[in-house]
A = this chain, B = another copy of it.
Amino acid sequence: MPMISLAELQRRIDAGDLSPEASIAQACEAIDAQDKTIGAFVCRPGTVGAASAGPLRGIAVGIKDIIDTSNLPTEMGCPAIYGGWRPRADAAVVMMLKQAGATIIGKTTTTAFAANDPTATLNPHHHGHTPGGSSAGSAAAVGAGMIPLALGTQTGGSVIRPASFCGTAAIKPSYRLLPTIGVKCFSWTLDTVGLFAAGVADLAHGLSAITGRAELLPRAAMQAPRIGIVTQEFAGAAEASGDEALRIAAAAAERAGASVRALALPEIVAEAWRIHPVVQDFEAHQSFAWEYRVNYDAMPPLLRGRLDESRDITPAAYDAARGVANQARRALARVFEDIDVLLTLSALGAPPEGLASTGDPRFNRLWTLMGVPCVNVPAYVTADGLPVGVQIIAPFGGDARALEAARFVEAALARR
């Protein structure tokens, strides 16, 4: 089933060709038809309505189940500890969606506490493969054509990687462009709320409506972006399918008029890649202190093992890691003096077979630590029918630029 374009729904609703109620009803039907197989949703409200005003009226949105909702349970992907948990308030970003007129259509599956223990959700492109994680249900629901918009979060690679695996567009915006109030914390330095949608213009319309930032709306496409290709060799080798995606995207962008050149990142940036786990795990011991200390036996095994292994990180090591991150952010800002955006891998390659692993965030985690906006664009589909994406990255605060350059690459790939 094709994905649902948010921008196209907006056009039809604005023109009076589709009522908000009918748009929401279509999403409900698509979920009813597909979710028994895919398993992208944890729960859905008994009745759903549609707002009559707001830029997102008639837009059905899925909310990752680590994000608080006042009228639906929030189980954190861990019913053993949070079964039936009902927060009092909506998360800030849920309220922003509602104020923009969106309809919360349900809570989507998440790996427990947005860590690595997999969900039962299937990849909509190939049921024998993982949809990725941690934002599994949000990526799968958009990729399957059930809903036009979904919220995820990324601490390592939990938005961009599942988007690549499920063949959707996605944005991990600049750090704190979207508030994390009411979102279960893993690492306060890293956690970032992001969006999944069918295409880059859909992301732009969605992000602009949520934030009230008109500058994020699509403008005339970039003419000849200066693109730096980075392979993140410090993160290890990609798979052949990942390398192929990057090659295809770079070639398409160049043919479309971009200036494209390979770029080496400063050593301090590679060092920031290395210390990302120090920041994440030191903060995780504080964020999950209650779960880990009071509910140790009920903790998901992969996350618990990760916490077991990282108990001895000292405050001094954490302080040093934050110092490296700060230096690297400044060094990365200087990299952008000569280019508009970076283009790099969204994942090692195609989604792994089976559901035992959600894949590897090694090509994502640096950018989460840098706080810079990243947009996934599907680059190609393997012979086995598996999507592989690439990510376009702009400087901190350059979310509009990241989206414009991603539209350029998306259009270039469509002409291929």
A residues lining the B interface (CB < 8 Å)? 70, 81-82, 85, 88-90, 92, 95-96, 98-99, 176, 179-181, 185, 188, 211-213, 283, 286-287, 289-291, 293-294, 315, 319, 397
Contact = CB atoms under 8 A, between A and B. Distances in A.
Contacts of A180: 188
Given A92-B289, A179-B287, A181-B188, A294 B70 contact: yes
A192 to B, nearest CB: 13
Contacts of A98: 293
Contact of A289 (B95, B176, B286): B95
B286 A181 contact: yes
A interface secondary structure, majority: helix
Q: Which of A89, A90, A315, A397 has most B Cβ within 10 Å? A: A89
A89 B315 contact: no
B88 A85 contact: yes
A283 B81 CA distance: 31
Contacts of A185: 181
Given A89-B291, A176-B188, 9 more contacts: A70-B290, A90-B290, A90-B294, A92-B290, A95-B289, A98-B293, A179-B287, A181-B185, A212-B315
A293 B286 CA distance: 31
A209 B92 CA distance: 33
Nearest to A86: B88
A63 B188 CA distance: 22
A293 B213 contact: no
Nearest to A319: B397
A163 to B, nearest CB: 25
A135 B397 CA distance: 34
Contacts of A88: 81-82, 85
A312 to B, nearest CB: 11
10 A-B pairs with the lowest CB-CB distances in the bound complex, closest first: A95-B289, A89-B290, A92-B286, A179-B286, A90-B290, A181-B185, A213-B315, A181-B287, A95-B290, A92-B289
A33 B70 CA distance: 41
B319 A287 contact: no
Contacts of A179: 188, 283, 286-287
A92 B287 contact: yes
A179 B318 CA distance: 14
A98 B293 CA distance: 10
Contacts of A95: 286, 289-290, 293
A99 B291 CA distance: 13
A185 B182 CA distance: 9
B70 A211 contact: no
A299 to B, nearest CB: 13
A275 B95 CA distance: 26
A289 B213 CA distance: 17
Nearest to A177: B315
16 contacts: A70-B290, A70-B294, A82-B88, A89-B290, A90-B289, A90-B294, A92-B286, A92-B289, A92-B290, A95-B286, A95-B293, A176-B188, A179-B283, A181-B185, A181-B286, A212-B315
